[in-house]
């Protein structure tokens, strides 16, 4: 997702640095190295993702280093889930009564499903 600077704490750069250091400057899902070339010849840029999507929770256990490709895949799942909830709300149903496809319920690290 595009970054809105006002949503991030003043020490965000330092937190980001700590996450990338912990990850050995590699995507924590696919292992691609920061600033390496992707399979398509584009530059891999690592971003830091909030695992629970709560930007106010900025402890390191809630942050993960992801390449742009993996980050986009995770956000796609979030967009699909948000669209599902919006459809339920528009249909007059309580979206919280329906089981959410909580992608993080099984553990700390998100699971990315390819070819879904």
Distance CA 50, CA 43 (A): 22
CB closer to Zn ion out of 62 and 110: 110
Name the minimum Å distance from CB 34 to Zn ion: 10
Q: For Zn ion, which residue of 23, 46, 70, 74 counts as binding (CB under 5 A)?
A: 70
Q: Does 51 bind Zn ion (CB under 5 A)?
A: no
8 A C-beta contact, residue 52 and residue 104: yes
Paired with 37 in beta bridges are: 43
Q: Is the dihedral of CA 42, 30, 103, 59 positive or negative?
A: negative
Name the minimum Å distance from CB 66 to Zn ion: 6
Q: For Zn ion, which residue of 46, 48, 67, 74 counts as binding (CB under 5 A)?
A: 67
Q: How many helices (H) and strands (E) does the chain have?
A: 2, 2
Contacting residues toward Zn ion, per CB under 5 A? 27, 29-30, 67, 70
């Amino acid at each position: 997702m595009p970054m809105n600077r006002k949503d991030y704490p003043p020490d965000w750069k330092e937190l980001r640095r700590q996450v990338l250091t912990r990850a050995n400057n590699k995507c924590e899902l696919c292992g691609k190295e920061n600033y390496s070339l992707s399979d398509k010849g584009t530059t891999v840029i690592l971003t830091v993702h909030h695992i629970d999507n709560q930007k106010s929770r900025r402890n390191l256990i809630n942050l993960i280093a992801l390449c742009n490709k993996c980050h986009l895949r995770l956000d796609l799942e979030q967009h699909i889930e948000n669209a599902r909830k919006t459809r339920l709300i528009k249909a007059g149903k309580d979206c919280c009564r329906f089981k959410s496809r909580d992608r993080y319920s099984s553990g700390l690290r998100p699971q990315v499903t390819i070819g879904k």
